[in-house]
Structure 1
Amino acid sequence: MLRIITQQADVRSELQRICDRTQDEQVLHKEATVREVLQAVKRQGDKAVLHYTAEFDHQILKAEELKVTGSELDAAYQQVSKDLLQAIRLACQKIEAFHRQRVPKSWVQFGDDEVVLGKRYTPVDRAGLYIPGGRACYPSTVLMNAIPAKVAEVPRVVMVTPVRGGKMVNPAVLVAAQEAGVQEIYRVGGAQAIAALAYGTETIPKVNVITGPGNIYVTLAKKLVYGTVGIDSLAGPSEVLVIADETANPVYVAADLLAQAEHDPMAAAILLTTDAGLAKKVQMAVERQLVDHPRRIDTEKAIAHYGLIVVVESLAAAAELSNEFAPEHLELEVADPWALMNQIRHAGAIFLGSSTPEAVGDYLAGPNHTLPTSGAARYASALGVETFLKHSSIIQYSQTALEKVASAIDILATTEGLPSHADSVKLRVED
């Protein structure tokens, strides 16, 4: 059952326990396994990828079966309903429209003495998208990762995703990938997929940036290859924090909590409310909605271990606790959500009002649903077009401009003990 506690209890330590839920004693053991996988794939390429796919995913593949064929891609369209195809296309439109508003623009500024300064944005050459497939299929995750890469004009976008039985990739995932502009798809998952993208194999190309969520092995692999490639973030299990007052509908709040809990046994679902009566009603509504829930076992585990209702003394107190937790998803189901939002400093995405469930953001509102978790919203942001871009500074000085700053550069370079730095300027202004 979803627990209810009051703010007088040790709320902060309980929220910290939930925030730290992925930092268990088994992580070091798992990291050793991941290091072994990474090194094997780096040395042996496809051979290691196939070996670990057989060992971990129980799928026996040949190297020539790793890449999804054109005929499979064509067939996928025949295996999805027209309604699903329309929904995917609608989501594509809305997600692309949002991300096109966020494209950084290159700029050049012409200053005094013919000094030119600027910034130039260019896409990475190759992007690799990891799409999980263990507990469910996620066409929405395909769209959220592929469309920003497309908007950034990445020349080559490849995708990896695990298969489960029959060597088949879910047709909804294949259709979403094609609609979003993915050119290549490989049926491999786990740490071996991350290794293949980071180092390249005979079949799978080496990429510059890897994005997309996964299990703890995928997350550790992304952490360990960072530096060889760029990554989006180290995404952990999903989480939602709802702030609600007496105007909130307990049935809606319960559904929103369960919408996160059903993702994973380690998902977190937290309610902070000023109304003790609402707390009890939400607790009961959660129990009712769990009856005959298709994912009841995993959902109940999440609720039991990482679900919590806290009765707080004020909305200001709720905002303070929320900022300390820095949730991935924050719902403000209060009478005046815009006023309360002014007190929020840290959240991956903020959903305002009772008509804005977090599921809207998951699928087609437009903003990206790949968000910082486990407190990372204190310093990180959602995946976006910028993830697939890098920028170069542009600098040009005229002879007059260089002469005006030569003395200052000479002093700084000499102070740092770098005489050739100083000489590189002196030689230009003394001739």
Structure 2
Amino acid sequence: MRPDLAQLYDLHGLPRYTSYPTSSHFSASVRELDYQAWLKSFAGQQSASIYVHVPFCRSMCWYCGCHTSVTKRDEPIAIYAAGLRTEAYLVAEVVGQRQPISHIHFGGGTPTVMTAETFADLVGSLRYSFAVLPDAEIAVEIDPRMLSEPMAETLGYCGVNRASLGVQSFDPVVQRAINRLQSFGQTATSVDRLRRAGVGRINFDLLYGLPQQTVASCLDTVAKCLELHPDRISAFDYAHIPAFKKHQRKIDEFTPPDSVERYLQFETIAEALVDAGYVRVGIDHFALPHESLARARQEGRLKRNFQGYTDDCAGALIGLGASAIGRMQQGFVANAISAKDYLARIAEDRLATAKGYLLTEEDRFRAEIIERIMCDMAVDLSETSRRYGLDPKFAIIDRSRIDSLIADGVVVIENGRLSIVDGAEFLVRSVASAFDAHLPRCGAIHSRAV
């Protein structure tokens, strides 16, 4: 553990690098016609993945940073699901053939807010429009407070084989502060229902840096999680942005913990999981040694996408739904953000493309460097530069940051290979940012943004 480094480097405001460039650089210059051309050029080349966004919940958790809204009625959700089915058909029509699909991920919001019948109809439409491979991973995000037994059975029937359960914290004091009361018993019941239904791969999502959260409560939450033996556990840093997410203003008198406290909370979680036999994957994921994510890390196949770390090596990502982002070989494409605008476009038999980004060759070069740093904690700058026909000196945008990181014992560069030293992995985003040509520079090496 290096709490001394946590005092020097504040990661607040740095990208999480789930894409490069980040979505803040997307613009309306990428249009529906561009997306159609990209889809046609990719058709049949290799397998693709699908991300399905469901922007509805039954209640609002005050910490939430997702594009979602609260509804108590089933009708708006059913109408939206009909839009998803239509969009899938429209995309397939543009592709011109049943595109092979290796991964499907339902995110939200709360995807299981759909009725069992609506969810089954949606999966059926995806299988009709695309060639979902027999060994495809089909994953769904779940709120354990609202998973009924019929819905769990439907997930198994539809071929869902991975479930990510939102846990955040089992501390009731923290739960009250963020408006998400969720007992251990509710979570255990959901896990049991999923496993009995054949959904055997279980992920838990945790947060640290929450209101009222302490190192001790983080450790207690991990201990409870371990009783349920999930295959993967992620631990994300809570982003308090009330200026953009107005519901976060309901969190009373909250001052985010400083970088040292956040570091201690996370490292407590990390050490407990490693001691329990989990493999540390990247900066915030942990997996059992036999798990596909751990194997991908060991074999150098780990990837980074909008859901975090993945072993998904598909050649394209098709985004379905409001605010969904896709990635094609030419660049990124994003749908209209609001469900109303999204459905209006789909009702006109149009793709819901609102913005995107056309990648340059330099973007691809920097994206590869940043992804390897984020996934492997190392990158061979000389080899990567050689393949792109570039001078390795061109790779580093912020030389002063790299020099500072070297001087502080965070990274070493030997024979053109950059590596992050053991114990400093939590600063990987600071290392990656030195290669980001799109990141605004404030002139500070040791950011003190909080």
Q: Do they superpose with TM above 0.5?
A: no
Larger strand fraction of residues? 2
In the superposition, the TM-score normalised over structure 1's length comes to 0.26
Larger helix fraction of residues? 1
In the superposition, the TM-score normalised over structure 2's length comes to 0.26
Mark the structure with the bigger radius of gyration.
Answer: 1
